[in-house]
Each structure stands twice: as C-alpha cells, then as structure tokens.
Structure 1
Amino acid sequence: KQFLFGLNEYVTQQEAIDIALDTEPKLKQTYETYLALHDALMVKKHPAELANLLATYEPNGTAMDMTIATLRRNKVAVLAAVTSPYSNGPIEGVNRLIKSLKRSCFGFKNQLNFFKRIYQITA
C-alpha cells in the first residue's frame, strides 16, 4: 500500500483505481472500453470481438471517441493485424539501433566499417 496525498490514506493501486472509477462514470466507461480493446487486440486476439466492440461503441464525449473513430476508419487493416501472426516490430527495433549508432558515431572511415558495426550490434 502507498500513501496517496489526495485521499490522505494508504491504498493499493487497485483501490485507487476503484475509487476513481466510482466517482466518475465517464471515466469508468472509458476504462472498461480500454480494457475490452486491450483484450481484443493484445490478449485474446479475437477479430470478431474487436469488430463487435467497434460496432456497438456509443460516443460519450471523451478521448476514446477519437480512438474508436480511427479504429473504425482503419478497420480492415486493424482486423488483419489482429489475425496475422507477423509483426514489423523486430525490423523497427533494428532500424532504431542503426539510427542511434549513426547519431552516436558521427561518421566512419569507410562504409565497410559502418556495416561491420551494424552487424555487431544486431547479432
């Protein structure tokens, strides 16, 4: 348990979330929508559940409205990403390593040395 100054008591993180959700109904609805989206996208990877969530969501004047609108606009791509086992994450990680190498080294004597260093950091 941690002491929260706004509440002036010792509470766990879950108790603090429960207190916040009980006092704000919009926050509770947004949080539940977030959890459902997270489960559909990351945990269960059920495209039918995600499609149902996007179809049944009703706007409530929060930032989640824009998120759902974006997911609806890109529904085909989002559903394809959920069903596909492939990800571009590893390639993006290698690109980040190469860019940070370029920033930190300020040039190499020749291109072969640069390629050797890339092979060293990505192997």
Structure 2
Amino acid sequence: MPQFAIYVGSLCIGHSWLEHRDAPIGVAAGRFLPAAGYAQVQGAVLASASGTQPEVALRVLAPDGQVLAGEGLVQIVDYSPELGDDAIEVHVIGIEPERYGQWFPTQATGFQDTVVVPPREL
C-alpha cells in the first residue's frame, strides 16, 4: 500500500496510507503519522478543529511526488490531546477520478460500473 506525504509549504509534517476510501466521491482518509515538523503546525490544527484550516495550507503528495490534493481539500483531525498519539487522522477530499484510479485502483474499479437506482415511491 503506498504511503502519502502531508506537507505545509516545503515542510513534511507526516505521512498516511489513506487506508479508508470512498471512490464515488473522491475521498480518502487514514491515520496520520506525524513527523517532527508537525509540532510547528499542531497548535493551528488544534485551534481550527471545528472548521476549515485556512492558516494551515496542507497538501498531500503521492509517492511519485505529484500533488494528490492541495490546499482546501486536506484536513487533519487531531484528537491526540484527549485520546493519545494514535488519534490523529488526515482527510483528503475531492481527489480527481484519474488520480484516484492511479493510486487506489481496486477501490476505483469497484465503482466504475455502479448504477444507483433511486428507491420507488410508494
């Protein structure tokens, strides 16, 4: 499973395998493994826990170095002060279908031919 790097500017603040995925809406999430640089932005992440993180311009790089998702589409959810170091996740929203298929092929192919049928009205 590929490991993705999370950056603020040129500073790598951690990694994730983005092991939880929802292909139809282009979302991937996973446990966030902080690097030493995370300490520099953790306060801002915690301060913005109830909303967006505009002052923390996060981006996710795929293993090939290309941007998987950029500013405004990445959020860190950090409950580590209350629950411990294992309670930090990163959420990536709006991954383009081509990129999604490239990095999560088994997830993407499972939804390619899915047809959603609305429920019948009674």
Give the number of the structure whose alpha-carbon radius of gyration is greater. Answer: 1
Query: 1 or 2, which has the higher helix percentage?
Result: 1
TM-score (norm 1): 0.27
Structure number having the greater strand percentage:
2
Select the structure with the greater relative contact order (CA < 8 A; seq sep ≥ 6): 2
| TM-score after normalising by structure 2 | 0.27
